[in-house]
Amino acid sequence: MDLKELKAFQAIIQEGTFSKAAQKLNYAQSTITNQIKRLEKELGFQLFVRGWEAELTPSGQLFAKEIDQLILHWHFVLEQSQKTPKKKNRNLEYRRHRTNCCHYSSFRPSNIQEAKTEYHMPLYHW
**Which structural domain, as residue segments, surrounds residue 25?**
3-83
Nearest to 43 by CA among 62, 25, 30: 62
3-class SS of residue 103: strand
Q: Which helix (H) or strand (E) holds 56?
A: strand 55-56
d(Cα 60, Cα 53) in Å, to the nearest integer?
Answer: 14
The whole-chain average pLDDT of the chain stands at 80
d(Cα 21, Cα 24) in Å, to the nearest integer?
Answer: 5
The CATH number that applies at residue 79 is: 1.10.10.10
In tens, the pLDDT along 62-81 reads: 999 988 888 888 888 888 88
In tens, the pLDDT along 79-107 reads: 888 887 766 655 555 555 554 444 444 44
Residue 8 and residue 56 share a domain: yes
In tens, the pLDDT along 18-40 reads: 999 999 999 999 999 999 999 99
- Residues forming beta bridges with residue 125, ordered by sequence position: 94
**Percent of residues, the chain, with pLDDT higher than 90:** 44
